[in-house]
Amino acid sequence: MSFPLSRAESRRFAIAAAAAIPLVLLHGCGRQPSDEPPPESVESEPATDAPAVDLSPVRDFPEKFPRRTHLPDMREAEASGAVSNSMFSAGRDLVYVEDDRVWWESDNDGEDDDECDHSMNKAIVLPFRRLVELCAASNATLRVQECYRPSGIHSTLSLHKEGRALDLTCPMLDPDNPNPEKPTLKSLEILAKLAWAAGFDWVYFEVPRNSGPHIHASVRRADPD
């Protein structure tokens, strides 16, 4: 069963995102491998002479996004590029993202976990900010379940190891969902559509066998400065 956004809903999301003021703060992350320098400090501050970042959707909302499907119709490595140990540097490529409108799983984990969901590759920050605005336009809290994790549960080919992938839920996108912490399939399909419109290079409605369903979204590596 699909849950397409109506034309009115799509317009509401786009207008709200275009008018939004970005509130993401970027600064150094403390959870890094000991042999890496800290990430570049990128503190955002109001600037009257700087144009506002346009956080409008960059693609049309898909009519449907069934579970266990992805956009575009190609492997993640083709759409977002493969992991490269020689090209990735945590200290250079990661920034720390904070937004009070977002729920971060790593903030609720124990100290022994090396997960740092605030640590994101610079390339993923802009589509993430667009997605935050789209969810906020529906009074829904985006939940970051996973971002950067240098070791542990992911395969050696996972883009989570470079902070170029996010695992996301947003239960309250489904207005009939009574549980703000547990996503429904309807909320996940809507979130997949929003993530694609926000500009991620690969979006997957993932339903794993051994963990909860979520939306996996990833991006290509940014061009060198």
Which pair of tokens denotes residue 214? 């979520």
* Region of poorest pLDDT, from 111-115, 139-143, 147-151: 111-115
Instruction: Give the C-alpha separation, 125 to 146, whole Å.
Output: 14
Q: What is the model's pLDDT at position 92?
A: 94
**Position 19 confidence tier, pLDDT thresholds 50, 70, 90:** very low
CATH 3.30.1380.10 fits 7-44+57-218, yes or no: yes
Residue (of 68, 203, 55, 67) closest to 135 by Cα position: 55
DSSP bridge partners of 61:
none
Whether pLDDT at 205 is above 70: yes
Q: What is the pLDDT of residues 88-98, one digit of tens each?
A: 999 999 999 99
Indicate the angle between helix axes 185-198 and 122-136, nearest 10 degrees.
Answer: 130
Q: Which residues contact 172 (CB under 8 A, 6 or more apart)?
A: 138, 139, 140, 141, 180, 187
- Contact (CB, 8 A) for 178 and 200: no
Q: What angle do CA 139, 118, 93 make, to 5 degrees?
A: 130
Most confident of 32-36, 46-50, 142-146, 210-214: 142-146
> Helix H segments across the chain?
7-19, 76-80, 90-93, 122-136, 185-198
Is the pLDDT score of 22 beyond 90? no
Token reading at 58: 């960059």
pLDDT in tens, 152-191: 677 778 999 999 999 999 999 999 999 999 999 999 999 9
Structure token digits, residue 160:
């989570």
What's the pTM value of the predicted model, to 2 decimals?
0.81
Angstrom distance (rounded) from CA 172 to CA 65:
18
Distances (CA, A) of 86 to 89, 115, 125, 134, 189: 8, 22, 22, 35, 36
